[in-house]
Every structure is written in C-alpha cells, then in structure tokens.
C-alpha cells in the first residue's frame, strides 16, 4: 500500500485548502522527507488527515472526531489517494454544519470511496460500508494501519529503557495484545462462576424432599377408595335430586294453574269495564263513511267565510285609499314647482362661477413660482454659508501644518547622528547573539559536568548495593530449590503413580454415574407402582363388562314392555274416537230450535231435540288416559336405562384408555431404564430397586474419597507452583542485579570520561566570551553608550527605539509637506466657488420679489369676487339641488300612479267578492240537504248528530287496540290453562315418591356435605402426589444439570489452569513472549539492513527482556542499557519496522511516517538515524519524519514546513534543497 496524495480543508490549525502530492517532484526524487515546524503548528494534523479520510478516526480524538474541524468554520473534509496492487483509489471524509453557518448543528459525517481514474463509487453510501470496503482493499483495519504506517519507534525506545513492570504494559500497548489479558481474566472468572453454579445445583438437589415409597403407596390406595365412594354417593345424590325436582315441578304446575285462572277472570272483567268504549267505537266506524261529504261541506263553508272576511276588510280600506290619492296629487304639484325654481337659480349663477375658476387657476400657478424661487434662494444661502466656513477652516489648517513642519525639521536636525544607526544595530545584534550562545553553552556544559559527576557517584552507589543484593539472592535461590525438591517428593507419594488429570477425569465421571443410578432407582420405583395400577385397572374392567351385559338384558325387557303398552294404547284411542263421533251428534241436537231448519237435513221439526245430553268422560277415555300415562312411564324407564348403559360404556372406554396409558407409561419407563443402562458400566435390574440404591451409595462414597485426594494434590501443586514462581522471581531479580552491576560499571567509566571532556570545552568557551565582550565595548563607546557586559538586551532596545524615532520623524515630515500642498490647493478652490455663489444669490432674490408682488394683486381681486367660496363646490351644490328636486318630482309622480292604480283594483275586487260569497252559500245549502237525506236512511236525524258520533283518531286507535289485545289475551290464557292442566295430570301420574320434601332436602344436604368432604380429601391427596411427581421430575432435571455443569466446570478448570489468572498476566505474558519472539525475528531482518554489527536477542530467563549481540566484539551478549543513543535509535527503529511487518501481515507497505524519537538525539546520533533512514528509503519506501528539531532542516533535502500565522492558524510550505539552497 502506498499513499499517493492527501488533500484537506479546515482541519485543526490548518485552515483553508491544502494538498500534498507524494507522486510528484520533489517527493519522487527523494523518498525521504521531513515535516517540520514549531510545537503546536499542526504537523501531526497531516497524519490525522490521512487516517480520517481512510477510517473516519483520529488517533488523538478517540471520542469525537468532529473536534478536528477548525474553529469558526462551517465545513471540513479530507481526501486521500492511495495505491493497492497497482490500482489507485480515492477516499474522502467530510463534515458540515447545518445551513453552512459556523454556529449551526453538526450534520452526520460522510465518506466516499472511488476507483481512479474512472471515478466509479465503491462500498455503498454509509460510512460503515465505506470503512469496511477500504479495510477489505488494503487488508488493514484502523489499528493495523496505525502500527504499519505510523511507526512506533518512540514507544520501542521507551520499551528498551523501561523496568520489568512497565515493559509489559508498553509491549501490550505497542502490539495491541491487550486481548490476551482480557482472555486470561475472563477464563479465570468463568471457571470461578462455573464452580459457583455447580455448588448451587448441588445445594438445590440436597433441598429436594421426596415421599417415601410406603407413604406414597398408602396415599394412592386411600385416593382410589375415596374415588369409588365419591361415585357411589354422587349416584345417590342424583336420585334424591330427581325426586326433589319432581315434587317442585308438581307444586309449580299447581301455582301456574291458579295464576292462569286469576288472569282469565281479570281479563274478562276488563272487557266488561270497557264495553261502553267498544260501543262508541262501533258508532265511530259507522260515521266514518260520511266523512268525505262532511269534509266537502266544511271546505265550502270555510271558503265562504273567508270570502266574507275579505270583502269586509276591502270595504274598510276603500276610504283610506281615496284619501291617499288626493294627498299624493298635492305633493306631486309642489315637487314640480320646486324643481323649476332650482333650475332657474343654477342658470343665473354659472357665468360668475366660470370666471372665478379661471382666476383660481392663475393664482395657483403664481404660488408655484414663488415656492420654487424661494427654495432656490434658500439653497444658495446655505451653500454660501458652507463655503465661508470651509474657507476659514482651511486657513487655520494650513497655519497648523506649517508650524508642524518647522518642529519636525528641527527634531531631525538634532538626531542627524542616528541616520546610520540601523547598520550599527546589525553588528551589535550579531555580537550579542554570539555572546548569548557562548554563555548558554558555558551554563549547559557546567550543568553537564555536574550531572556527569553525579551520575558517577550514583552509579558507584548502585554498584555497591547490587553486589550485596546478588550475594543474598544466590542464598535464597538455593533454599527455595531445596524446598521445591521436598514438595515434588510429597506429590509423587500422594499421587500413587497417577496424574491429577486422571483423578479429576475419574471424579468428573462419577456425578453423572451417580445421577444415572438415582434416575434408575426412580424408574424402578415407578415401574413397581405402574404394575400395581395396571392390575387394578384390569380387575375393574372385568367387573364393568359383566355389569354392562346385565344392563343390556334389562333394556331389552323394557323395550318389549314398551311395544306392548303402545299397541294397547292405540286400540283404546280408536275406541274413544268412535264414541266421540256419537257424542257430537247428541250435542248438535241440543242446539236445534223449533220452526228453524236443521243444518244437516233442513227439517223444521226436531222430535229428538228434547234428549238430555251430558258431556262426561266414558270408561274408554279413562282407560286411554291411564294407558298414555303408563306408556310415558315406560318410555322414561327406557331412556333412563339407556343413559345408564351409555355412562357404563363411557366408563369402560375410559378405563381402557387409562389402562393403555398405564401400559404406555410402563413401556416408557422400561425404555428409559434400558437407555440409561447403556450409559452405565454394569447393567441394573429394574425389578430390584434396593440393589440400585446400594450401588448409588457406593458411588457417592467413591466420589468423596476422590475429591479428598484431588484437593490434597492440588494443594501440593499450588505450593510447588508458588515455589517455582518464587525461584523464577529470585533468578530474575538476580539477573537484574547483575545487569545493574554491569551497567553501573559502564556508567562510572563513561561519566568520568565525559566530565574531563566538558572541562576542556568550558575553558575554550570562556576565552571566546572575553573576546566578544571586548568587541561590544569598542562598538558602543563609538555610539556614546556605556556597556557593563550584562545589559545587552537593554542596549539593543535603546538602539532600536532611536532608529524607530528617527524614521518616524522623517515619515512625519514627508506627510506634513504633502498635506501642506493639498490644503493650499483646496483653499484656492473654495475662494473661487464662494464668489460664484454670491452672484447667483442676488439673482434669485430679485426674481422672488417680483413674483410675490404679482401674487398679492391676484389674491385681492379673487377675494372681492367670491370671497372664500370654492366655485367648483358651489357649482356641484347647485347641481345637486336641481337633481334632488327632479328626483323628488319623479318619485311623487310614480307614487301618484301607484295609489290611483290601487284604488281602481280595490273597487273591482269588492264587486267580485260579493258574487263569490252568494255562489258559495248556494252550493253549501245544496250539499247539506243531500247529506241530511242520506243520514235519515242510517237512523241519524241530523248532521250535528253525525258530528257527535266521531271520536278522535288517537282515541279510536287506543280503543281498537285495547279490544284486540283483550280478546287475544283471553284466548291465549284459555289455551295455556288447558295445556297446563294436561301436563299436571301427566306429572301426577308418574308418582316418583311419597316422601315429604323436608326429608328429601335433609337427605340431599347430607349427601352434598359428604361429597364436599370427599372432594377436599381427594384434592389434598392429589396435591401431595402431584407435588411428589413434580419434585421427582425436578430431582431428575437437577441431577442432569449437575452432570452437564460438572463437565462444563471441568473444561473451564483445565483451561484456567493453563491460561487463567485473576490479574490476566498469566496468558498475557505467554502471548507477549511469543509476539516478542516473532517481532525480534522480523526486527533483525531490518536491523541487518541498517547495521551489520548488531542483532537483537530475546532473553531466555525473562519473557519480556531483550538483549543485544555485538558482532564486532565476538558476538558478546550485552544488556540494551549499554547501547549509545544512536545505537538505541537503530534498534528501536528496527523493532518499529518489524511491528509494521507483523501488523500488516502480507500487505506490502510503501509509505511510512515517524512522528517521534528525534527530539532527544545529539548531533552525532542524529547523523546515524538519518543514515539509517536513507538506507531504508533506498528499498523503495517513502518515509516521512515529523519533528520540530532544527538540525533536520539541514540534513533532509525535501521538507514540508508548517508555519504558524497570527490568529492561531498555520500554513504549509513545500521546500526542496537544490544546488546548495532551498527553493
């Protein structure tokens, strides 16, 4: 992967748009470049632009990437072109504020990815999909990119110098291997949690309390007896309730018959009470047929009455209409006279009005002229006043400028000696700068000398202390190794030739075997119980089958008896029908009357009509009724027997189902027992639960013994591990102490040599200081300034101020001279303009006076003519008077015409009304006479009597509905009473019991109480047995859970023993050791290219310690602390490059950036670092170095300078070293 270019806008301090093309000169000519600038200028922002464009993240802003936007801006973006496998892509990230305002709310970030040069978009439209597409293309996620492209050379420098505790944290941060610490902690905590879960399940199993088998069998036997007793008692209760219901039905029918009789009598009385209303309704129906004739007569009479009323009103209005006509005629005559008079006044006044209008128009014109002349005169006056003031002000300004010019010239003459002072200041600044540098060097070297002496003393102290520590550690290691041997001997004795894993495996299998044995015991118990239940169900089924055969035989007898009774009943019914025909003839004879024809034969004489007929029941009817009751009784017995047989058949079917269910359960128990047997090392017998219980007890005892052995072995192993850890720790401390002794000796030697070199340098610097002081004294004495040797800054300030004062006086004099010329010219122009304005002022005033005199004469003439009256308004007033007079005349004429017309119409209408009234009276009389004649035929004497027969329609409807409802109710009650009496006779014939109702109710209550008591006891027993079944199921489930949980705990326990620890270091140290070994191998490949002298070696004694092999000194192995600054840089750079290879996996990285590590390097070490980087870029990589070190500017030809500007922003400047200079 190679970064081709980066382009960004408004990121951090780099406001505006910036673009860097790494695929164009000078970057293509030199693969090594520097990004330089002061601290805080924005150098690292260039790297931020790359990461945010590719991954939408900034390493320094882990929480809110939006903070990368420059302050007081509304948008920002970053574009990066990168090359992967020869194909170039462009990635873009952007962020905006709403409405493009700097105080708007931040919008969501946007990311794009395009293939170049086609511009085809890839990766979807969401930032997440674009990031994933970039990761897939590059083969690097964000963290891998940081470790591959942004080299962590500075982190490795700190790693090489860190102590043991800090080294692990640094390596975890550099290699991003913190996941191993989390895994180690998670495994430890998971093993702990699984152990707690296992203990909790075992506690739950101990808390399950099951019934003893004898107790459960007793409960089941008792439950069966209670169920049978309940069936018997419920049967008795059904018979008693049937008798009680029969008795209540008889009483209910008696009460119903009495109620029906009362209702019938009540409705018959009601019909008699309303007899008068019913007769009135008949007369109303008779009168209704004459209603059309009455309606016609009433209509004609009402019309005649209306005509008479209209005629009377019209005769009353005629005098008023005549009087209104005369008054309107008088008003019309007066209106004609007023209109003529108004027209005459208008004609006489119009000439005078026209003359006044012409005069007013001329006056308005003169007034306009006066106003214009006056406005122009006022404007000229104002302009003259302004020019006069301006002339005075310019004169005063010119005098002030001349005074200032004289003063400034005098000041310059006094400072004539300062004219060349700026050149003297340059010489002084150079001398003072050199003096300051010499003084700083002296102070720095003095400090270095003191530091070297201090280091020498500290190193000697460290050497003494570590020599003592080394002796003590050797003794402690010998003691611990002896203890380790003793513990291992005890472990071999305790293990008896077996490993802990074998004991744990054996113990891990036992809980499941115990659970299986306990499950087999429960299945064996269920098998015994189900066998007993099956035997009981078979006996009960045989009894019910025998009873069913008996009941079916009884049902056959009852059906035969029913057929015989129904045949006898049919014969009796035919006999009764013949007798009733004869009786009907007898009843009809009683209805015959003498001299009236017989409806059958037509005879007028009825000799047999005097016979005495009595409607009584015959003997045949009594026998028929008794037979009907008997048939009903037999039918009920047949139905009852069929119900009993059905119930018995259902019980037999239910018993079969229950038997099948029990047999199915037995098969399931046997199958489950056999399946579990296959999981056991030795098969158990389902018919021997006691043997199964004994096996279970032996397995539990075996498990307890194994757990004790495992606990003892683990205790010894922990002690051995602790001892081994202590030995390793002591050895590590011993190695550290020996390394510190070697390092202290080296430091003592190096510090002494450095102190001698610094003393020599200080002497030469003091000689240079004396020469510079002499040069400064000579220079300042020529300028008249005393020099004390320590006030360089004050003198530089004085000289700068004198130069600035002289330059300021020169500039001020030049400016004053320019002002003098300008003001003098302006004064001359103002005088000419004032003279011209005075002439114009005189002319305007003369014209104004002439127009004002003319206006006064015209106003006097107008006032004499019409005073202040407006001629137009006066003309309009007179015209309005004429128009209103003519309108009044027209209105009066129209009103006169209307009144005359109304009078004529009223007179004609009165004549017609008199004729209509006479015609209506004649028609009404003829119709009334015709109706009276028709009423006589119906027995009604007059029309007035006919009116009395009518009743209101609402009342008629009410009476009609009352009559219809009363008759219907009487018929319904009679029919219901007849059917109820028949039902009473049939129910009485059943005769189910002779017992008193109180005795039956008492018996029923006693049976109900017994059923309730049985239900409570049965419910209690079922609840006990159901709870025991539930607990057995729970016991089985928990046992199975324990088996599963034991396996899960064993699995996590083994894993925890390998990598788990509370602090996470156990697995982390192991993984870091592997990572460091791989990293060391990759780093040595790069180190060989940088320098053939050194190779990195991972320490065997300490997982996270690195050593250095010096090839120039017979491959001697030395601690990293013995390396010089340049050598440490080479090693840390090689490690960073190795991490880049490790993180990028197989992705080739051709663009690298180093953002640290140069600030602490001296000049010689910096040369070594630059040479190493130049060797590295020779392999085709582009390398960017970000630093504020000034020395880099002289050693790297291509530079990107980030320059601070006022206001907190920065800009980018690209420099390339060509022909000995930067361009």
The 10s digit of each residue's pLDDT in 140-194 is 888 878 777 776 556 666 666 666 666 666 666 666 667 888 888 899 999 889 8
Do 155 and 1157 form a contact (C-beta atoms < 8 A)? no
For the chain, the farthest-separated pair of C-alpha atoms sits apart, in whole angstroms, at 192
Average pLDDT score over residue span 701-711 = 77
Q: Are 631 and 517 in contact (CB under 8 A)?
A: no
pLDDT (average), residues 774-787: 71
Q: How many other CB atoms sit within 10 Å of the CB of residue 526?
A: 20
- The pLDDT tens digits of the residues spanning 901-945 come to 877 887 788 778 788 888 878 877 887 777 777 777 777 777 777
Does residue 348 have a pLDDT over 60? Answer: yes
Q: Could you tell me if 88 and 81 are in contact, meaning their C-beta atoms sit under 8 angstroms apart?
A: yes
pLDDT value for 612: 44
Nearest alpha carbon to residue 923 among 287, 309, 299: 299
* Predicted local confidence at residue 867, as pLDDT: 67
pLDDT band per the 50, 70, 90 thresholds, residue 7? very high
Give me the pLDDT at residue 607, please. 55
Give ∠ CA 614-619-621 in degrees, rounded to 5. 85
Closest by CA position to 695, among listed 703, 705, 684: 684
Q: For 574-598, what is the mean pLDDT? A: 64
For residues 579-598, average pLDDT: 62
Among 3-12, 348-357, 381-390, 1044-1053, the range of highest mean pLDDT: 3-12
**Which of 457, 455, 456, 446 lies closest to 758 in space, CA to CA?**
446
How many angstroms from the chain centroid is the CA of residue 600? 100
Q: Which residues contact 26 (CB under 8 A, 6 or more apart)?
A: 33, 1197, 1198, 1214, 1216
Average pLDDT over every residue of 771-792: 70
Number of H helices, E strands in the chain: 22, 16
The pLDDT value given to residue 112:
92
Rounded percentage of the chain residues whose pLDDT exceeds 70: 86
pLDDT, tens digit, 9 for 90 and up, residues 483-527 = 777 777 766 766 666 676 777 777 777 788 888 888 888 888 888
Residue 309 has pLDDT above 70, yes or no: yes
Residue 271: closest CA among 930, 774, 969: 969
- H/E run at residue 11: strand 2-11
pLDDT of residue 716: 75
Checking if the pLDDT of 597 tops 70, the result is no
> Is pLDDT above 70 for 1045?
yes
Q: Which residues contact 74 (CB under 8 A, 6 or more apart)?
A: 96, 97, 100, 101, 102, 104
Joined together, the tokens standing for residue 774 give 């002499």
User: Does the pLDDT of residue 1161 top 80, yes or no?
Assistant: no
Instruction: From 134, 140, 48, select the one nearest 90 (Cα to Cα).
Output: 134
CA Rg value for the chain? 68
Dihedral in degrees, nearest 10, Cα atoms 1095, 1100, 1106, 1112: -30
Rounded mean pLDDT, 667-688? 83
**pLDDT tens per residue, range 439-468:** 777 877 787 777 777 777 877 887 788 788
**pLDDT at position 616:** 47
> What's the pLDDT score for residue 726?
76
Mean pLDDT of 796-824: 79
Spatial separation of the C-alpha atoms in residues 432 and 1078, rounded to whole Å? 56
Residue 577 confidence (pLDDT) above 60: yes
Above 70 in pLDDT, residue 556? yes
What integer pLDDT is reported at residue 295 of this predicted model? 75
pLDDT tens, residue by residue, 735-752? 667 767 776 777 777 777
Q: How many CB atoms within 10 Å of residue 558? A: 16
Q: Which H or E element spans position 17? A: strand 14-21
Find, among 741, 1086, 1102, 1104, the residue nearest to 1094 by Cα: 1086
Cα 1149 to Cα 149: distance, rounded to the nearest angstrom = 7
pLDDT of residue 1220: 46
d(CA 782, CA 420): 13
Q: Do residues 81 and 89 touch, judged by C-beta distance below 8 A?
A: yes
Who's near 1122: CB < 8 A, 6+ residues apart? 742, 743, 746, 1108
Average pLDDT, the chain: 78
CB atoms within 10 A of CB 656: 13
Q: What residues contact residue 301 under an 8 Å CB cut-off, 6+ apart?
A: 920, 924
How far lies 795's CA from each of 335, 422, 786, in Å? 120, 13, 9
For residue 880, is pLDDT > 50? yes
Residue 614 predicted with pLDDT over 50: no
Report pLDDT for 4: 92
Residue 1191: which pLDDT band, with cuts at 50, 70 and 90?
Answer: low
Angle between helices 953-990 and 619-679 (to 10 degrees): 80
HSE-CB for 855 with a 13 A CA cutoff:
15
Q: Would the CA dihedral through 481, 482, 487, 490 be positive or negative? A: positive
Report how far apart, in Å, the C-alpha atoms of 620 and of each of 578, 616, 625, 626, 985 are.
Answer: 10, 12, 9, 10, 17
Banded model confidence at residue 1221, pLDDT cuts 50, 70, 90: very low
The predicted-structure confidence for 830-856, as pLDDT tens digits, reads as follows 777 777 777 777 777 777 777 777 877
Whole-number pLDDT of residue 164: 60
Average pLDDT over residues 1106-1117: 82
Q: Are strands 150-151 and 1094-1098 parallel, antiparallel or unpaired?
A: unpaired
- Is the pLDDT assigned to residue 1171 strictly greater than 60? yes
Residue 154 is predicted with a pLDDT of 62
pLDDT of residue 615: 45
213-273 vs 953-990: helix crossing angle, rounded to 10: 130
3-state helix, strand, coil in the chain (%, to 5): 75, 10, 15
pTM confidence score: 0.36
pLDDT above 60 for 1223: no
Structure tokens at 491: 């472990």
pLDDT at 319 over 50: yes
- Edge-to-edge strands of the sheet including 1151-1154? 150-151, 1151-1154, 1182-1187, 32-36, 1198-1204, 1210-1218, 1221-1222
Per-residue model confidence as pLDDT tens digits over 275-298: 888 777 777 777 777 777 777 777
Do the bridges between strand 1151-1154 and strand 1182-1187 make them parallel or antiparallel, or are there none, so unpaired? parallel
């Amino acid at each position: 992967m190679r970064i081709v270019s980066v382009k960004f806008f408004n990121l951090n301090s780099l406001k505006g748009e910036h673009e860097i093309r790494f695929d164009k000169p000078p970057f293509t000519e030199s693969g090594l470049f520097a990004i330089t600038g002061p601290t805080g200028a924005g150098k690292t922002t260039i790297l931020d632009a790359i990461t945010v464009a590719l991954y939408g993240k900034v390493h320094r802003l882990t929480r809110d990437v939006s903070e990368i936007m420059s302050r007081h801006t509304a948008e920002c973006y970053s574009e990066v072109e990168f090359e992967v496998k020869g194909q170039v892509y462009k990635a873009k990230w952007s962020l905006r504020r709403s409405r493009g305002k700097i105080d708007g709310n931040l919008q969501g970030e946007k990311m794009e990815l395009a293939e170049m040069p086609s511009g085809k978009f890839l990766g979807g439209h969401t930032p997440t999909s674009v990031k994933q597409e970039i990761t897939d293309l590059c083969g690097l996620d964000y963290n891998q990119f940081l470790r591959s492209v942004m080299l962590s050379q500075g982190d490795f420098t700190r790693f090489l110098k860190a102590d043991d505790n800090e080294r692990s944290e640094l390596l975890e941060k550099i290699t991003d291997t913190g996941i191993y610490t989390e895994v180690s902690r998670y495994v430890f905590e998971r093993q702990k949690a699984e152990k707690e879960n296992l203990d909790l399940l075992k506690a739950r199993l101990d808390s399950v309390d099951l019934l003893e088998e004898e107790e459960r069998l007793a409960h089941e036997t008792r439950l069966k007896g209670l169920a049978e007793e309940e069936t018997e008692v419920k049967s008795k209760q059904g018979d008693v309730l049937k008798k009680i219901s029969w008795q209540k039905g008889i009483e209910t029918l008696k009460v119903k018959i009495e109620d029906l009789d009362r209702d019938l009598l009540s409705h018959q009385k009601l019909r008699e009470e309303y007899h008068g209303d019913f007769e009135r309704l008949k007369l109303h129906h008779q009168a209704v047929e004459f209603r059309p004739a009455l309606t016609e007569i009433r209509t004609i009479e009402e019309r005649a009455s209306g005509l008479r009323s209209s005629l009377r009103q019209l005769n009353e209005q005629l005098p008023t209409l005549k009087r209104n006509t005369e008054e309107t005629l008088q008003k019309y005559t007066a209106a004609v006279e007023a209109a003529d008079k108004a027209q005459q006044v208008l004609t006489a006044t119009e000439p005078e009005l026209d003359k006044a209008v012409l005069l007013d128009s001329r006056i308005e014109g003169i007034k306009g002229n006066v106003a214009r002349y006056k406005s122009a005169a006022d404007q000229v006056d104002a302009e003259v006043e302004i020019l006069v003031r301006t002339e005075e002000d310019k004169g005063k300004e010119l005098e002030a400028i001349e005074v200032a010019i004289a003063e400034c010239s005098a000041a310059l003459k006094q400072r004539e000696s300062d004219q060349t002072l700026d050149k003297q200041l340059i010489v002084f600044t150079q001398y003072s700068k050199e003096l300051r540098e010499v003084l700083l060097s002296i102070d720095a070297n003095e400090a270095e000398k003191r530091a070297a002496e201090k280091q020498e003393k500290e190193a000697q102290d460290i050497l003494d202390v570590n020599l003592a520590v080394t002796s003590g550690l050797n003794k402690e290691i010998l003691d611990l190794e002896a203890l380790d041997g003793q513990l291992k001997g005890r472990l071999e004795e305790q293990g008896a030739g077996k490993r802990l894993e074998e004991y744990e495996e054996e113990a891990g299998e036992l809980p499941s075997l115990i659970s299986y044995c306990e499950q087999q015991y429960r299945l064996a118990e269920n098998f015994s119980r189900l066998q007993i239940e099956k035997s009981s169900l078979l006996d009960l089924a045989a009894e019910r089958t025998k009873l069913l055969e008996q009941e079916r035989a009884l049902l056959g007898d009852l059906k035969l008896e029913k057929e015989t009774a129904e045949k006898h009943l049919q014969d009796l019914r035919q006999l009764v029908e013949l007798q009733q025909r004869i009786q009907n003839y007898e009843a009809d004879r009683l209805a015959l009357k003498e001299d009236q024809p017989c409806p059958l034969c037509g005879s007028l004489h009825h000799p047999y009509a005097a016979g005495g007929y009595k409607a009584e029941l015959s003997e045949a009817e009594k026998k028929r009724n008794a037979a009907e009751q008997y048939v009903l009784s037999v039918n009920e017995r047949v139905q009852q027997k069929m119900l009993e047989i059905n119930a018995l058949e259902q019980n037999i079917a239910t018993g079969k189902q229950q038997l099948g269910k029990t047999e199915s359960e037995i098969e399931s128990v046997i199958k489950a027992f056999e399946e579990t047997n296959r999981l056991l090392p030795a098969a158990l017998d389902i018919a021997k639960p006691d043997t199964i219980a004994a096996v279970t007890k032996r397995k539990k005892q075996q498990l307890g013994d194994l757990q004790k052995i495992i606990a003892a072995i683990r205790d010894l192993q922990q002690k051995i591990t602790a001892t081994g850890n202590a030995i390793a720790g002591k050895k590590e401390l011993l190695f550290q102490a020996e390394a510190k002794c070697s390092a202290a000796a080296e430091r003592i030697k190096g510090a002494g040599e450095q102190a001698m070199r610094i003393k020599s340098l200080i002497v030469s610097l003091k000689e240079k200081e004396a020469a510079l002081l002499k040069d400064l004294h000579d220079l300042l004495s020529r300028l008249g300034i005393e020099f004390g040797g320590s006030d360089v800054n004050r003198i530089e300030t004085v000289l700068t101020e004198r130069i600035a004062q002289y330059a300021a006086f020169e500039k001020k004099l030049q400016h004053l001279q320019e002002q003098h010329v300008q003001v003098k010219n302006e004064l001359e122009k103002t005088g000419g303009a004032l003279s011209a304005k005075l002439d114009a002022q005189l002319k305007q005033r003369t014209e104004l006076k002439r127009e004002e005199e003319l206006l006064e004469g015209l106003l006097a003439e107008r006032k004499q003519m019409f005073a202040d009256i407006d001629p137009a308004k006066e003309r309009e007033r007179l015209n309005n008077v004429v128009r209103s007079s003519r309108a009044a005349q027209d209105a009066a004429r129209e009103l006169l015409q209307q009144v005359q017309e109304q009078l004529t119409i009223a007179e004609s209408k009165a004549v017609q009304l008199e004729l209509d009234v006479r015609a209506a009276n004649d028609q009404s009389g003829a119709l009334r006479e015709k109706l009276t004649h028709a009423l006589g035929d119906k027995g009604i004497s007059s029309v007035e009597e006919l009116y009395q027969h009518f009743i209101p329609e609402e009342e008629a409807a009410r009476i009609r509905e009352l009559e219809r409802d009363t008759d219907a109710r009487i018929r319904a009650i009679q029919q219901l009473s007849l059917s109820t009496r028949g039902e009473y006779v049939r129910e009485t014939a059943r005769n189910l019991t002779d017992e008193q109702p109180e005795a039956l109710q008492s018996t029923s209550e006693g049976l109900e109480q017994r059923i309730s008591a049985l239900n409570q006891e049965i419910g209690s027993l079922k609840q006990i047995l159901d709870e025991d079944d539930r607990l057995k199921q729970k016991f089985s489930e928990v046992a199975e859970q324990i088996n599963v949980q034991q396996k899960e705990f064993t699995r996590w326990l083994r894993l925890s023993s390998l990598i788990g620890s509370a602090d996470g270091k156990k697995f982390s140290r192991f993984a870091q050791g592997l990572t460091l070994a791989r990293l060391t191998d990759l780093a040595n490949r790069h180190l060989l290219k940088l320098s053939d002298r050194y190779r990195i070696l991972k320490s065997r004694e300490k997982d996270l310690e690195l050593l250095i092999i010096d090839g120039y000194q017979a491959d001697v192995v030395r601690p990293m602390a013995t390396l010089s600054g340049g050598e440490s840089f080479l090693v840390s750079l090689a490690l960073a490059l190795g991490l880049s290879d490790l993180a990028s996996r197989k992705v080739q990285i051709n663009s690298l950036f180093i953002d640290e590590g140069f600030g602490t390097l001296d000049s010689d070490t910096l040369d070594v670092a630059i040479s190493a980087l130049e060797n590295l870029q020779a392999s085709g990589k582009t390398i960017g170095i970000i630093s504020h070190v000034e020395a880099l500017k002289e050693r790297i030809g291509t530079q990107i300078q980030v320059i601070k500007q006022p206001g907190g922003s920065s800009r980018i400047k690209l420099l390339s070293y060509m022909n000995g200079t930067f361009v």
